[in-house]
Chains A and B, each alone.
Chain A
């Protein structure tokens, strides 16, 4: 079946360092979404990418959708303690539902 994997599983960084998580799908995706889940919280939608090679920025966060639409990345520049949490990518499965990636847990050391 369709799988969405993320690497790394965990990442510890010093505050101010950059962070990147990679998302890889076993199938071509029509779009990809990213969510952030703070410790003890629920997933919160960050962004959706639709076009091949698309790059979108949200302040210190840069999201990229691969040319083949099978992979994506999230890069955070100069991490802050507020960036702590688990980042999930999610790819559509069928016409109305999503499969969530395995997630990358980010810890930022002050």
Chain B
């Protein structure tokens, strides 16, 4: 398994500002993912964070809005840029230790409210 921490756990932000969410894992992992989950909804994959290279974004998500960094095998950040109320959601970091389709371990999430 893997122990994952996310910071901040929650935040309330003003529209037009940006927030950076951090994800820290207690061991080196191959894959790191960022998801968004609207209240009462399923999980939507935003992007895969690649170590040492640009993230791979899913359809509907762009780097200018959600820049992602992954400087090493245990840490990643997701920035939500130029926020609007529609960005209010829970943002989840997940990791998989192996390559290919492997078990995912999720962080506790960051609850973001944009006013």
* A interface residues (Cβ-Cβ under 8 A, vs B): 1, 30-31, 33, 35, 41-45, 48, 88, 90, 92, 95-103, 105
Residue contact A43 to B48, C-beta cutoff 8 Å: no
- A42 proximity list for chain B (CB < 8 A): 92, 106-109
Residue contact B106 to A98, C-beta cutoff 8 Å: no
**Which of A1, A41, A100, A105 is B43 in contact with, Cβ under 8 Å?**
A100
**Which of A48, A88, A96, A97 is B103 in contact with, Cβ under 8 Å?**
A48
- A44 proximity list for chain B (CB < 8 A): 106
**How many of B's residues come within 8 Å of A, CB to CB?**
24
Given A92-B101, A98-B101, A105-B40; 11 other pairs, CB 8 A cutoff: A33-B103, A33-B104, A42-B92, A42-B106, A44-B106, A48-B103, A96-B100, A97-B45, A97-B48, A97-B101, A100-B42
Distance of A90 Cα from B106 Cα, bound (Å)? 14
18 A-B residue pairs with CB within 8 Å: A1-B59, A33-B104, A42-B106, A42-B108, A43-B43, A43-B104, A44-B106, A45-B103, A45-B104, A45-B105, A92-B101, A96-B31, A96-B99, A97-B33, A97-B48, A100-B42, A100-B44, A105-B40
Residue contact A95 to B101, C-beta cutoff 8 Å: yes
Report if A95-B100 is in contact (Cβ < 8 Å); known contacts: A42-B106, A44-B106, A45-B105: yes
In this complex, what residue of B is CB-closest to A45?
A: B103
- B99 proximity list for chain A (CB < 8 A): 96
Distance of A103 Cα from B101 Cα, bound (Å)? 20
In B64-115, the 8 Å CB interface with A consists of 92, 94, 96, 99-109
Residue contact A101 to B42, C-beta cutoff 8 Å: yes
